[in-house]
């Protein structure tokens, strides 16, 4: 019976929970006006409402949000936790959206503000609620007959339903949904919960593969999926999920992966011994065994010979390496009957194979699979277990596939070994000759395949190949070379003389000269040259050729390849033009500005020396001299930058000196020009060495000047000089905010300016770059650390003397 028909034909059993008699009366009146027949059970507090829901069945419950004892939200949560399925409509005093969301998350079917309580609205809600409840009941009935486990949860992720199959298959206590996490494998539970919480936050569909406990004391893989159900406003009101058993598919994939690994390992084992070792290694590992061995039939077909085994098996079978085929043992039985032979425990082994009985064998269980080749059984693979064990059907299938592949690989290895031996020892035998011819055909097929692969690779990379027969002057080349030279496909080039007219006139003579050297002396060819295509375009080609000679050293032929390097040459030309442009610009800026700046400074100095100047004139002339000095320093930096970037480094003139005295002079000069700041100098050890004093004064001046510029005015700048055995270290430290992390890696690059760059008048961001180049020119190094609370520290390392170049080897 549908919900609408039920409402019309029989009374509804409704629970009304509200502590206000007036509100309960309003509900009764609204129900009366709807014309619906209803049996009402009224309670006045939350405790009574919860008791009624737990004890009696209702078609629907209308519950006040605020009630004494327990409010409606608390009653709702406890009822849903107790798996009460009664639809519950919450009555609120106000239409608070936040409250509505909490109610829906807790499991409310819907909510209604008391101010909006009308007969029409109430009737609509009841019909909608009963219809939804009816659909849910149909869904759950349908879920019970599906082959998957079906479950639902509230919007907050708490499960409120799981189909019967979930209780039966996964060992969840009947009716106790809260225990579902115990059915998840401990290693998979964190991953499952992390993904579940993510989907609850975002509303994304849920999907994860995990292992679930299976009745019968085992774990099986399941695909867990869930989709959210939303209300008209897009809010998640319920999650619907399924657990699908994918264990068989998963294990099939694992078997395929293991067999692929076996195939790859066997393909790299060319000899029978290596093949046998792979069979043992893969079999023991894949079947989770503790030991293994391979026995092969002898040529007479009467005996099995132990050819390879794990260390423990070799120790136990020492002196028993040959087993008669009629021996009452599992390995002999498997070979005789060509079938899988297993025993699951020691008792079964002793009963079936009494000759193997005894306490000396440490293995409880064993499995033997015959190695069946194209000509019959070749031997057997044995795996041993230290505990009782029965192979599952999947493991038996894998065991069979492993033995089949191993036998095929062993046959291939034997054939290859026989062919090799035949080529060496039996070339005069007709049968051996047939084997050699067959092997040759196989090798030719392989070479043809490789040749096709090489052609495909050359075509894909745009590489053209050629062969020049020096004796006949005949030329063979492929279609790629036709394309590189801009020629139509075909026999357009047949001799070397046909090639030279295609070469650019400026490169033609050199190409011809090198070709003559190859033909005369057997030299190899390597050259970049230009070609003129028929459409007038010029392209660059890079060509390499190898010349082969006979026993007397006479050149026979050359093989080689060509590739188009036009784009590379264009990039090199652009880079050269850019470098030349930089050199010209820096030359103009650096050299052509020095003379006018010198005139400006000298003229300002002469004017400043005159008597009778007022204070304003003196300040103006002083600013002119200062600006000229800054401009001169900028020019010096640009010259140094030009020398470092375009001239291969800044030259230094080393002289014997005391670096400590130099540091003291630089610090005193900077302290005098910054009387408001304190600069502390500390020295340890000796400062003697060979350096360029002017350049190191520039280094110290840049670093100490930066420290003064970028530190708070009331802090101290520390300069420390420390002499060690072969090196001297300079450390400049200042306090204040650290250098930004994004700037720090590129601090010594040119044209980089820090956070206070604007305060450094005359700076173009070359100071630290030139400082580093000067340190490198002395064979030293410079580093910087900058952290909050620790300040910024530059450390310069300078060898006392120039590095000694390695001695020249004179032959």
Q: Which of residues 99 and 193 earns the better pLDDT score?
A: 193
Mean pLDDT, the chain, rounded, equals 82
246-252: Cβ within 8 A, 24+ apart? 246/209, 246/221, 246/222, 247/220, 247/221, 247/222, 250/209, 250/221, 251/221, 251/394, 252/394
Q: Is the pLDDT of residue 236 over 50?
A: yes
Q: Which of residues 795 and 754 earns the better pLDDT score?
A: 795
Give pLDDT, residue 637.
66
In this structure, are residues 693 and 660 in contact, taking their beta carbons and an 8 Å threshold? no
Average pLDDT score over residue span 29-35? 85
Ranked by mean pLDDT, which of 6-10, 172-176, 795-799 comes out on top? 795-799
Give pLDDT, residue 753.
54
Give pLDDT, residue 762.
43
State how beta strands 12-17 and 38-43 pair: parallel
Q: How confident is the model at residue 679 (pLDDT cuts 50, 70, 90)?
A: very high
Ranked by mean pLDDT, which of 295-304, 567-576, 607-616 comes out on top? 295-304
CA–CA separation, 242 and 227 (whole Å): 9
Q: How confident is the model at residue 457 (pLDDT cuts 50, 70, 90)?
A: low
CA geometry: angle 79, 85, 87, nearest 5 deg: 95
Q: Is the pTM of this model over 0.85?
A: no
Ranked by mean pLDDT, which of 110-119, 153-162, 698-707 comes out on top? 698-707
Give pLDDT, residue 368.
92
CA–CA separation, 388 and 381 (whole Å): 19
Q: How confident is the model at residue 611 (pLDDT cuts 50, 70, 90)?
A: confident
Q: Is the pLDDT of residue 33 over 90?
A: no
User: What are the structure tokens assigned to 773, written together?
Assistant: 């180049």
Residue 487 CB partners (closer than 8 Å, separation 6+):
493, 502, 534
* Burial zone of 138 (CB within 10 Å; 0-12 exposed, 13-18 middle, 19+ buried): exposed
In this structure, are residues 688 and 740 in contact, taking their beta carbons and an 8 Å threshold? no
Give pLDDT, residue 756.
43
Q: Is the pLDDT of residue 808 over 50?
A: no
Q: How confident is the model at residue 450 (pLDDT cuts 50, 70, 90)?
A: low
Average pLDDT score over residue span 373-394? 87
Q: How confident is the model at residue 455 (pLDDT cuts 50, 70, 90)?
A: low
Average pLDDT score over residue span 45-74? 88
Per-residue exposure over 353-382, b if at least 16 CB sit within 10 Å of its own CB, e if not: beebeeeeeebbbbbbbbbbbeeebbbbbb
CA–CA separation, 402 and 383 (whole Å): 12
Give pLDDT, residue 809.
43
- Range with the poorest average pLDDT among 381-385, 426-430, 663-667: 426-430
Q: Is the pLDDT of residue 156 over 60?
A: yes
Q: Is the pLDDT of residue 288 over 50?
A: yes
Residue 287's alpha-carbon distances to 118, 357, 367, 406, 604, in angstroms, are: 71, 24, 10, 15, 95
Give pLDDT, residue 144.
61
- Range with the poorest average pLDDT among 45-54, 121-130, 396-405, 450-459: 450-459
Give the E-state strand segments of 167-250 in sequence order. 206-214, 218-230, 236-245
Q: How confident is the model at residue 407 (pLDDT cuts 50, 70, 90)?
A: confident
Q: Which of residues 347 and 164 earns the better pLDDT score?
A: 347
Give pLDDT, residue 8.
54
Q: Is the pLDDT of residue 505 over 90?
A: yes
Q: Is the pLDDT of residue 694 over 60?
A: yes
CA geometry: angle 654, 656, 658, nearest 5 deg: 115
Q: Which of residues 147 and 303 earns the better pLDDT score?
A: 303
Give pLDDT, residue 228.
92
How confident is the model over 748-764, as pLDDT tens digits?
A: 887 665 444 434 444 55
Helices 594-609 & 615-646 angle (0-180, nearest 10): 160
CA–CA separation, 454 and 460 (whole Å): 10
- Range with the poorest average pLDDT among 49-53, 322-326, 433-437, 614-618: 433-437
Give pLDDT, residue 691.
94
Q: Which of residues 508 and 803 earns the better pLDDT score?
A: 508
Give pLDDT, residue 1.
45
Other CB atoms within a 10 A radius of the CB of residue 226 amount to 21
Give pLDDT, residue 757.
41
Average pLDDT score over residue span 648-658? 84
* Burial zone of 415 (CB within 10 Å; 0-12 exposed, 13-18 middle, 19+ buried): middle
Give pLDDT, residue 735.
93
Average pLDDT score over residue span 524-542? 91
Answer positive or negative: Cα dihedral of 389, 394, 397, 399. Answer: negative
Provide φ and ψ at 211, rounded to 5°. -95, 130
Q: Is the pLDDT of residue 590 over 70?
A: no
Helix (H/G/I), strand (E/B), else coil: 26: helix
Helix (H/G/I), strand (E/B), else coil: 685: coil
Per-residue exposure over 240-273, b if at least 16 CB sit within 10 Å of its own CB, e if not: bbbbebbbeebbeeebeebbeebeebbeebeebe
Q: Is the pLDDT of residue 621 over 60?
A: yes
Ranked by mean pLDDT, which of 56-60, 531-535, 751-755, 781-785 comes out on top? 781-785
């Amino acid at each position: 019976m549908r919900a609408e028909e039920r409402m019309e034909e029989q009374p509804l059993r409704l629970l009304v929970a509200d502590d206000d008699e007036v509100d309960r009366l309003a509900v009764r009146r609204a129900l009366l006006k709807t014309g619906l027949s209803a049996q009402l059970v009224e309670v006045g507090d939350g405790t009574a409402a919860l008791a009624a829901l737990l004890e009696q069945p209702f078609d629907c419950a209308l519950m006040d949000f605020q009630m004494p004892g327990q409010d409606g939200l608390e009653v709702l949560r406890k009822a849903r936790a107790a798996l009460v399925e009664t639809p519950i409509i919450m009555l609120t005093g106000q239409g608070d959206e936040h409250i509505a969301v909490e109610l829906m998350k807790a499991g409310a079917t819907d909510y209604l503000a008391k101010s909006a309580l009308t007969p029409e609205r109430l009737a609509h809600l009841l019909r909608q609620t009963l219809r939804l409840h009816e659909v849910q009941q149909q869904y759950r009935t349908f879920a019970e007959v599906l082959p998957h486990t079906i479950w639902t949860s509230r919007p907050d992720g708490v499960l409120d339903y799981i189909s019967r199959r979930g209780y039966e298959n996964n060992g969840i206590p009947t009716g106790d949904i809260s225990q579902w996490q115990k059915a998840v494998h401990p290693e998979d539970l964190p991953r499952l919960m992390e993904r579940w919480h993510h989907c609850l936050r975002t509303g994304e569909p849920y999907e994860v593969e995990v292992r679930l406990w299976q009745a019968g004391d085992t774990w099986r893989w399941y695909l867990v999926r869930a989709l959210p159900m939303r209300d008209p406003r897009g809010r998640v009101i319920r999650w619907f999920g399924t657990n699908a058993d994918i264990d068989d598919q998963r294990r099939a994939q694992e078997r395929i992966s293991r067999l692929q690994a076996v195939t790859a390992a066997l393909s790299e084992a060319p000899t029978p011994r290596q093949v046998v070792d792979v069979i043992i290694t893969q079999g023991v590992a894949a079947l989770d065994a503790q030991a293994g061995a391979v026995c092969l039939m002898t040529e007479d077909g009467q005996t099995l010979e132990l050819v390879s085994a794990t260390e423990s098996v070799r120790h136990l079978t020492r002196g028993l390496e040959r087993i008669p085929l009629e021996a009452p043992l599992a390995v002999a039985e498997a070979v005789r009957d060509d079938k899988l032979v297993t025993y699951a425990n020691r008792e079964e082994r002793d009963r079936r194979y009494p000759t193997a009985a005894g306490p000396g064998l440490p293995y409880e269980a064993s499995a033997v699979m015959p190695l069946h080749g194209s000509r019959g059984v070749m031997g057997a693979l044995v795996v041993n277990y230290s505990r009782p064990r029965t192979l599952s059907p999947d493991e038996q299938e894998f065991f069979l596939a492993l033995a089949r592949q191993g036998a095929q690989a062993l046959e291939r290895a034997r054939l290859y070994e026989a062919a090799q031996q035949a080529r060496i020892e039996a070339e005069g035998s007709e049968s051996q000759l047939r084997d050699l011819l067959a092997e040759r055909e196989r090798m030719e097929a392989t070479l043809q395949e490789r040749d096709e692969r090489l052609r495909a690779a050359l075509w894909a990379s745009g590489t053209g190949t050629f062969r020049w027969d020096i004796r006949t002057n005949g030329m063979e080349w492929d279609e790629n070379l036709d394309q590189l030279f801009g020629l139509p496909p075909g026999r357009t080039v047949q001799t070397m003389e046909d090639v030279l007219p295609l070469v650019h006139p400026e490169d033609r003579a050199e190409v011809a000269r090198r070709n003559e050297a190859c033909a005369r002396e057997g030299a190899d060819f390597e050259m970049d040259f230009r070609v003129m295509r028929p459409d007038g375009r010029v392209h660059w080609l890079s060509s390499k050729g190898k010349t082969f000679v006979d026993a007397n050293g006479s050149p026979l032929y050359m093989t080689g390849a060509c590739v188009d390097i036009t784009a590379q040459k264009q990039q090199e030309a652009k880079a050269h033009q850019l470098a030349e442009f930089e050199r010209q610009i820096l030359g103009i800026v650096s050299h052509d500005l020095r003379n006018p700046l010198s005139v400006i400074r000298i003229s300002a100095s002469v004017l400043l020396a005159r008597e009778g100047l007022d204070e304003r004139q003196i300040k103006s002339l002083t600013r002119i001299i200062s600006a000229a000095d800054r401009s001169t320093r900028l020019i010096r930096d640009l010259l140094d930058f030009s020398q470092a970037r375009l001239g291969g480094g800044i030259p230094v003139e080393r002289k014997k000196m005391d670096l400590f005295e130099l540091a003291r002079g630089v610090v005193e000069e900077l302290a005098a020009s910054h009387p408001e700041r304190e600069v502390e100098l500390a020295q340890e050890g000796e400062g003697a060495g060979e350096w360029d004093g002017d350049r190191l004064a520039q280094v110290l001046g840049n670093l100490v000047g930066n420290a003064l510029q970028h530190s708070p005015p009331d802090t101290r700048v520390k300069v420390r000089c420390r002499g060690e055995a072969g090196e001297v270290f300079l450390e400049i430290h200042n306090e204040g905010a650290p250098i930004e992390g994004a700037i720090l890696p590129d601090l010594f690059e040119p044209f980089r300016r820090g956070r206070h760059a604007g305060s450094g008048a005359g700076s173009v961001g070359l100071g630290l770059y030139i400082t580093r180049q000067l340190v490198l020119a002395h064979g030293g190094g410079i580093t910087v650390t900058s952290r909050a609370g620790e300040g910024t520290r530059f450390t310069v390392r300078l060898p006392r003397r120039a590095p000694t170049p390695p001695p020249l080897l004179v032959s």
